[in-house]
Amino acid sequence: EVQLVESGGGLVQPGGSLRLSCAASGFTFRSYEMNWVRQAPGKGLEWVSYIRTTSTTVYYADSVKGRFTISRDDAKNSLYLQMNSLRPEDTAVYYCAREGRTTVGGMDVWGQGTTVTVSS
Amino acid sequence: SSVLTQPPSVSVAPGKTARITCGGNNIGSKSVHWYQQKPGQAPVLVIYYDNERPSGIPERLSGSNSGNTATLTISRVEAGDEADYYCQVWDVSSDHRVFGGGTKLTVL
């Protein structure tokens, strides 16, 4: 079964750090581009970051650039998001999502999400 | 980056046709993807590349894209279609992925 499972969310104080993980299974992880997408409580989806295969290229939303770092370990079939200098507005459910190889950029597999709460 | 505009809500009676729009500057030149999200669940890709359906998505869902508007059409609407729907594009100029604000579909 193709699956993505996020972990690492929790409660953190403003200015703190957190590292999210996304474990992939059921497909050849190294062959797929990956994204992090977040959803603040009661709000819509917001794209956060993208990483190409072999980690050659990464992109970030302006709202997180300079604070978040996306990475992947293909040997461990895992995607990561290092989040530093966290702000209350970073509070959200964070999803990892796969870009399908035949869906022209459409994200065809999503994890169940992990919740990040930034509050004092 | 691109800005995608969706109506906050659309209401439709069962058995009728719902149309959810996604407006953006020259969106017709981009590939548009649509996601369905039900409460407490992760999004699901329902349309990619303007009008292609992933396996398992019913033919009642279709997409179109031209000019400044992309449209998700749901025919013969069922109660189970009630959800939030999001459009998404890849902004080539910035390489950012961009989501619309989302539309809540209510089945009356």
Q: What is the pLDDT of residues B61-75, one digit of tens each?
A: 999 999 999 999 999
Q: Which one, of A68, A40, A48, A53, lies nearest residue A99 by Cα?
A: A53
Measure B67 CA to nearest chain A CA, in Å: 20
The CA-atom distances, in angstroms, between A14 and each of A17, A36, A47, A49, A60 are: 9, 21, 21, 21, 20
Distance from CA of A61 to the nearest CA of B (A): 7
Structural tokens at position A91:
């509070």
Determine the pLDDT at residue A56: 84
Nearest to B48 among A44, A97, A106 (CB): A106
Asked if B90 and A61 come within 8 Å (Cβ–Cβ), the reply is no
Q: What burial class does residue A24 get, using C-beta atoms within 10 Å of its C-beta: 0-12 exposed, 13-18 middle, 19+ buried?
A: buried
Res. B38 pLDDT band, cuts 50 70 90: very high
> Can you tell me the distance from the alpha carbon of A61 to that of B2, in angstroms, rounded to the nearest whole number?
12
Q: Write out chain B residues lying below 8 Å of A108, CB-based.
A: 45, 48, 54
Give B14 to chain A, closest Cα distance, Å.
Answer: 25
Residue A17: CB atoms within 10 Å: 12
Residue burial A2-11, b: 16+ Cβ < 10 Å; e: rest: eebebebbee
Question: Is B97–A46 a contact, with Cβ atoms under 8 angstroms apart?
Answer: no
Q: Average pLDDT over chain A, rounded to whole?
A: 96
Task: Identify all chain A residues contacting B33, using CB atoms and an 8 Å cutoff.
Answer: 103-107
Which residues from B are below 8 Å from A104, CB to CB?
31, 33, 48-49, 52
| A100 DSSP 8-state letter | P
Range in A16-30, A95-109, B7-21, B23-37 with the lowest mean pLDDT: A95-109
Amino acid code (one letter) for B78: E
* Tokens 């190294």, residue located: A30
